[in-house]
Amino acid sequence: MNPRIPIILDMDTGIDDALAIIYALQSPTLEVLGITTCFGNGDVATTTRNTLMMVELSKHTVPVYAGARDPLVGQFIPTAEAFHGRNGLGGLTDHRPQLRAEAESAVDYLRRIIRSRPGEITLVVTGRLTNLANALNADPGLGFLIKRVVLMGGAAFVGGNVTPVSEANIWGDPEAAWVVFHSGVELVMVGLDVTMQVMIEDAQVSGMDPRRAYTPVIQEALDFYLAAYNPGQPKGHRQAPLHDPLAVAVAEDPSLCELVGYPVDIELGGTMTRGMTVVDRRSWIRNDPNVLVCQSVDRERFLREFCTRLGFPLLDPGSVGPL
Ligand code: BDR
Ligand code: CA
């Protein structure tokens, strides 16, 4: 039997991060060593509480470490409430997990665990890259000890979601993204190019396995998420993207996506382009690739595994309604 793949999740736990936590904790091949949190889909107190809530409901034991409150430059600007709700999980129920975060900070934890297992750990970041950038700034050699960073973020050849060209996780701290993209660490970018192709639908949410402890919380959260992504659409005809679970799935099995190496940089200025992931496609320029960009995804294979693992019914591809 192959040894499990040691990973750390770094998240801004809103609704799709919550699904990603369950996907990772229920994986037969991933070993989740710890989860670090960051501002993003809420302030860091909210995203940490949501993370603890999902660990608790998944009935796993994983340490959680609270991380950055603010980006490298300026202060956290909340923008995600429309998609993740007042409390990051749809906004209706206030959750009070029993679990508590560790006393150690996210950055201290990242530095300690990565140095204790050089070359072994994959970091999956589904929020701003702030914690990793802070760790790299404090300990510049750290990047060479990380096996790989798989990030949900950016938009290589498609438009953005917060601005016409910027994706939320990069837009929320472009300076941090710049530090990571220039660090020399192996980067796999799971951007909007592929995450907007893996959708969850109403019929899956209503048909969730009622025996799982997390089902009521996830159903409430996904009802909000589906409404946010489909304004004006009636229930039964709504779809919304599984951004963050796809990043975990690619960390587990990179063959789910077609990965192509490109030089990618982060726009820090611009009047309309701050936070853009700028991909250099000029084949005649000798500029070494720094990012493996996910260009396409085996949508059906991912959705089959996602639904089976989390207790959603499988749908006939392209239709609305259970098989
Ligand atoms: C990303 O932004 C966040 O709101 C989601 O959780 C996801 O990580 C999508 O752009
Ligand atoms: Ca996220």
Model confidence, pTM: 0.97
Q: Which residues 6+ apart lie within 8 Å of 35 measured at CB?
A: 8, 9, 10, 11, 21, 51, 55, 62, 63, 64, 65
CB 295 within 8 A of CB 264: no
243 catalytic residue (yes or no): yes
Q: Is 317 exposed, middle or buried (0-12, 13-18, 19+ CB in 10 A)?
A: exposed
Mean pLDDT across 9-25? 98
Write out the residue range of the structural domain in which residue 234 sits: 5-319
CA distances from 179 to 136, 183, 189, 201 (A): 8, 6, 15, 36
Q: What is the CATH number of the domain that holds 186?
A: 3.90.245.10
Give the model confidence (pLDDT) of 84-118 as tens digits: 999 999 988 888 999 999 999 999 999 999 999 99
Q: How far, in Å, is the centroid of ligand 2 from the Cα of 17?
A: 5
User: 167 CB under 6 A from ligand 1?
Assistant: yes
Cite the DSSP H helix spans in 13-76.
15-25, 44-58
Q: How many C-beta atoms surround the C-beta of residue 236 within 10 A?
A: 11
Give the model confidence (pLDDT) of 203-255 as tens digits: 999 999 999 999 999 999 999 999 999 999 999 999 999 999 999 999 999 99
Residue 18: is its pLDDT beyond 70? yes
- Distance separating the N- and C-terminal Cα atoms of the chain: 34
Q: How far, in Å, is the centroid of ligand 2 from the Cα of 287?
A: 30
Query: Which ligand 1 atom sits closest to the C-alpha of 15?
Result: 6
Give the model confidence (pLDDT) of 23-63 as tens digits: 999 999 999 999 999 999 999 999 999 999 999 999 999 99
CB 322 within 8 A of CB 207: yes
Report the nearest-CA residue for atom 10 of ligand 1: 168
Report the nearest-CA residue for atom 2 of ligand 1: 168
Report the nearest-CA residue for atom 4 of ligand 1: 41
User: 277 CB under 6 A from ligand 1?
Assistant: no
Residue 321: is its pLDDT beyond 60? no
Q: Look at the chain and report how many structural domains it folds into.
A: 1
CB 136 within 8 A of CB 153: no
How far apart are the C-alpha atoms of 95 and 88, rounded to whole Å?
Answer: 10
Identify the DSSP state of 115.
H
Characterize the bridge pairing of strands 239-241 and 257-262.
Answer: unpaired
User: 10 CB under 6 A from ligand 1?
Assistant: no
User: 18 CB under 6 A from ligand 1?
Assistant: no
Q: Which residues 6+ apart lie within 8 Å of 101 measured at CB?
A: 37, 48, 52, 64, 65, 66
- Choosing from 9, 11, 12 the residue with most ligand 1 atoms within 8 A of its CB, the one to mutate for a pocket test is 12
CA atoms within 13 A on the CB side of 10: 28
How far apart are the C-alpha atoms of 155 and 190, rounded to whole Å?
Answer: 9
Q: How far, in Å, is the centroid of ligand 2 from the Cα of 294?
A: 17
Query: Which ligand 1 atom sits closest to the C-alpha of 83?
Result: 4
Q: How far, in Å, is the centroid of ligand 1 from the Cα of 284?
A: 34
How far apart are the C-alpha atoms of 155 and 278, rounded to whole Å?
Answer: 9
User: 188 CB under 6 A from ligand 1?
Assistant: no
Identify the DSSP state of 52.
H
How far apart are the C-alpha atoms of 247 and 169, rounded to whole Å?
Answer: 13
The pLDDT-based confidence of 318 (bands split at 50, 70, 90) is: low
